[in-house]
Amino acid sequence: MPRNIYDEDHEAMRASAREFVTRTLAPRADEMIAAKSIPRDIWLEAGKQGFFGLDIPEEFGGAGVDDYRFNAVVAEEMSRFNAATSSCFGIHSDVCPPYIVDLGTEEQKQRWLPGMASGELICAIAMTEPSGGSDLAALKTTAVRDGDAWILNGSKTFITNGYRADLVIVAARTDPSKGAKGITLLMVERGMEGFVNGRKLDKVGMDESDTAELFFENVRVPDENRLGPEGMGFISMMQRLPQERVGAAVSNVAHAKAILEETIQYAKDRKAFGQPIGAFQHNKFLMAELVTKIEVAEAYVDDCVAAHAEGKLSAVDAAKAKWWSSQVQNDVLDHCVQLHGGYGFMNEYRVARAWRDARVTKIWAGSNEIMKELIGRDLGF
Ligand SMILES: Cc1cc2nc3c(=O)[nH]c(=O)nc-3n(C[C@H](O)[C@H](O)[C@H](O)COP(=O)(O)OP(=O)(O)OC[C@H]3O[C@@H](n4cnc5c(N)ncnc54)[C@H](O)[C@@H]3O)c2cc1C
C-alpha cells in the first residue's frame, strides 16, 4: 500500500535519520547493549544533526517544525534500528519538550530548551512510582511549600533515561486534599541536593535504554522550577499523553515491520526438506497474514499521525493506536521468532531481541488495559 501522509521533505528527514542510524548507531549497537545505555557522544551527535529539537522553537535552538510527521519519520527510523533507542530518544525529544514549550516561562525555556535540542541536557519524565503507575492520580511523591521553594520527597521507578537524566519532569503531590487536582509538575535538575539517579534496572528487554529509579530526599526545588500552575500537573499530563501514545504506536509498527522484512528474507534463504522454509504453505500464508496485519495497523497509525499533525487527534483514538499497534507488534514478532527456529531464540539475532523488547509496549505509556478503559468510557460505560 502506498503511504500518502509523507511528502518529499519528510522523506528527506527520513533519509538523514537513516544515514545517522547507519553511520553512528549501527556500528555501536553492541556497545550500547553492554553499557545498558546510549553513550553521551551519541546524544550530542543526534542533537547536532537536528533530531531532538523538532518541537522546540528556533529561538531556543530547535527546528520549530510544527508538523508531527517529521517526529514520526525520525521515530520510525530509530525504531527500525531498535526499540530501545527509539524510546530513549522519543522520551527526550518527543514527549518532554512539549511540556516546556507549552507550559514553561520564558526564563525556563531559555534555561532548558537549547540544551535539550543539542542533546546536552538529557530529559526524562517521572510519573510512575513503586506503588503504581496506572492510577496516576494516586501518586505519593510529595512537594511541600517552603518559602520560595518546594521540598520534594518520594521516589519514582521505571524511568526511561532515568540514569543519565540531567533534567526530570517530576509529578508531585502538592495538595494532599485535592486528588488529581493536587498534583504539580516540578523540574528537578541533576546535582540538586537529595536527588539521586538510582541504578539501571535489570530488564527483560530494551537493553540499550537506561531505565532507572529516582529518589528524592528533601530536595529543595525552587519555585522557579515549577512547570505550569500549581495543581495543574495531572491535567497537563493528560493533555500531552496522546502525543506519547501516537509516538509509541509509530514505533511499534515500524519496529515490527523492519523485523518482519528481515524474517521474510530469512524465510527465503533458510532451507528445510530441500526448499525455502517460506515456501511451505503454512509459512507462506502466515507471512501473508503478518504483512497484512502490519499494513492495516500502519494505515490506522498514519491516519492518527496526520490527525495529530493537524492538532485533531483525540485521546481515545491515540489510545486505540497504542494498544492495537503494540498487540500487533507482539503477535508479529512472536511469529517472526518461530520462523527463525532456534536462531530466533539467540540474542545474536535481532529478531530475538526485538521480541523481548516488544513485550513492554503493552505495559508502558499507559497499559493496554488502561487504553481499553479510556476507549470503553468513550463508549459510554
Ligand atoms: C521499560 C519501562 C520504561 C518505562 N518508562 C517510564 C517513564 O519514562 N516514565 C514513567 O513515568 N513511567 C515509565 N514506565 C512505567 C509504565 O508507564 C508503568 O509500568 C505502567 O503505567 C503500568 O504501571 P505499573 O507498572 O505500576 O502497573 P499497575 O498500575 O500496578 O498495574 C498492574 C496491572 O494491572 C492493570 N490495571 C491497573 N489498573 C487497571 C484498571 N483500571 N483496569 C484494568 N486493569 C488495570 C494494569 O494494566 C497492569 O496489567 C516505564 C515502564 C517500563 C517497564
Q: Give pLDDT, residue 124.
A: 98
Q: Give pLDDT, residue 58.
A: 97
Which among 163, 214, 125 has a CA at the least distance from the CA of 43?
A: 163
Whether residue 159 has its Cβ less than 6 Å from ligand 1: yes
Locate all alpha helices (DSSP H) within the chain, ordered by sequence. 8-20, 29-35, 40-48, 68-81, 83-90, 96-103, 106-118, 233-269, 281-309, 315-339, 350-359, 368-378
Q: Name which residue sits closest to atom 29 of ligand 1, judged by CA.
A: 134
Whether residue 52 has its Cβ less than 6 Å from ligand 1: no
Distance from the alpha carbon of residue 256 to the mean position of ligand 1, in angstroms: 22
Distance CA(333)–CA(331), nearest Å, equals 6
Q: Which residues pair with 216 in a beta bridge?
A: 154, 195
Q: Give pLDDT, residue 1.
A: 82
Q: Name which residue sits closest to atom 25 of ligand 1, judged by CA.
A: 133
Whether residue 133 has its Cβ less than 6 Å from ligand 1: yes
Which among 212, 341, 205 has a CA at the least distance from the CA of 266?
A: 341
Question: Which is the closest atom of ligand 1 to the Cα of 129?
Answer: 26
Give the active site residues.
244
CA distances in angstroms from 209 to 161, 183, 214, 267, 370, listed in the order given? 7, 28, 15, 30, 24
What Rg value do the Cα atoms of the chain yield, rounded? 21
Which among 109, 91, 92, 90 has a CA at the least distance from the CA of 101?
A: 109
Out of 363, 372, 375, mutate this one to test ligand 1's pocket (max ligand atoms within 8 Å of CB): namely: 363
CA distances in angstroms from 251 to 43, 85, 255, 268, 319, listed in the order given? 19, 10, 6, 26, 14
Amino acid (one-letter) located at 30 = D
**CA quadruple 108, 100, 105, 149: dihedral positive or negative?**
negative
Whether residue 211 has its Cβ less than 6 Å from ligand 1: yes
Q: Is 57 helix (H, G, I), strand (E, B) or coil?
A: coil
Q: What is the pLDDT along the chain (381 residues), one digit of tens a residue?
A: 889 999 999 999 999 999 999 999 999 999 999 999 999 999 999 999 999 999 999 999 999 999 999 999 999 999 999 999 999 999 999 999 999 999 999 999 999 999 999 999 999 999 999 999 999 999 999 999 999 999 999 999 999 999 999 999 999 999 999 999 999 999 999 999 999 999 899 999 999 999 999 999 999 999 999 999 999 999 999 999 999 999 999 999 999 999 999 999 999 999 999 999 999 999 999 999 999 999 999 999 999 999 999 999 999 999 999 999 999 999 999 999 999 999 999 999 999 999 999 999 999 999 999 999 999 999 999
Q: Give pLDDT, residue 149.
A: 98
Q: Give pLDDT, residue 381.
A: 98
Whether residue 237 has its Cβ less than 6 Å from ligand 1: no
Out of 88, 125, 128, mutate this one to test ligand 1's pocket (max ligand atoms within 8 Å of CB): namely: 128
* Phi, psi of 3, rounded to the nearest 5 degrees: -95, 140
Q: Name which residue sits closest to atom 22 of ligand 1, judged by CA.
A: 133
Distance from the alpha carbon of residue 135 to the mean position of ligand 1, in angstroms: 9
pTM exceeding the 0.95 threshold for the entire prediction: yes
The torsion region of residue 115 among left (phi > 0), alpha (psi -120 to 50) and beta comes to alpha
> DSSP of 28-46, one letter per residue?
GHHHHHHHTS--HHHHHHH
Distance CA(112)–CA(314), nearest Å, equals 29
